[in-house]
């Protein structure tokens, strides 16, 4: 199990390093493409997103490796406490990176999907412009279902 923990550790570091290299190469290519063709692509934003995603993946693998190593050795209160502290710190970093990348906390993803259906409704709401009876066309409907 100790070897498994080390392998997952190496995978975590590899994910971060590979992600940084890939994001940098893609950003460089995009900058060159924009310079030649005058495109308005937001290279910096995409670069940050790619970096953040690779760091998130690496952090998740590193946390998994810590858990594997702690379970592999006879757990003591001290080792479990250290593991808990490491998990809390890395979880905070993951949440912060998720907020930075997507602009939402991880638990708000479900709301974002629900929020996308809202713009398909009338801006006056289901009860008309003043909150009374429905407007002249009746209550608003969601987007039509294809089929």
In angstroms, rounded to a whole number, what is the distance separating the alpha carbons of residues 67 and 107? 23
pTM comes to 0.62
Q: Quick: pLDDT tens for 107-130.
A: 777 655 555 443 444 444 444 444
Pair of tokens at residue 120: 């398909």
Please, where are the H alpha helices in the chain?
A: 2-37, 43-72, 77-102, 109-117
Q: Quick: pLDDT tens for 37-84.
A: 766 568 888 898 899 899 989 989 998 888 888 887 777 888 888 888
Predicted confidence at residue 143, as pLDDT, reads 47
Other C-beta atoms closer than 10 Å to the C-beta of 57 total 17
Helix (H) or strand (E) holding 51: helix 43-72
| Domain residue extents for the chain | 2-109
In angstroms, rounded to a whole number, what is the distance separating the alpha carbons of residues 131 and 140? 13
Beta-carbon contacts of residue 16 (< 8 Å; ≥ 6 apart): 54, 55, 57, 58
| Secondary structure percentages of the chain, helix, strand, coil, to 5 | 75, 0, 25
Predicted confidence at residue 8, as pLDDT, reads 92
Work out the percent of the chain whose per-residue pLDDT is above 90: 20
Beta-carbon contacts of residue 1 (< 8 Å; ≥ 6 apart): 68, 69, 71, 72
């Amino acid at each position: 199990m100790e070897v498994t923990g080390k392998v997952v550790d190496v995978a975590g570091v590899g994910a971060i390093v590979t992600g940084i290299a890939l994001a940098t190469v893609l950003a460089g290519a995009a900058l060159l493409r924009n310079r030649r063709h005058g495109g308005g692509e937001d290279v910096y934003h995409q670069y940050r997103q790619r970096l953040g995603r690779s760091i998130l993946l690496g952090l998740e693998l590193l946390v998994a490796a810590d858990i594997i190593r702690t379970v592999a050795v006879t757990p003591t209160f001290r080792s479990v406490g250290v593991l808990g502290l490491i998990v809390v710190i890395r979880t905070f970093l993951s949440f912060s990176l998720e907020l930075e990348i997507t602009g939402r906390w991880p638990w708000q993803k479900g709301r974002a999907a629900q929020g996308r259906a809202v713009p398909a409704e009338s801006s006056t709401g289901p009860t008309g412009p003043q909150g009374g009876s429905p407007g002249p066309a009746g209550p608003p409907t969601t987007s039509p279902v294809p089929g």
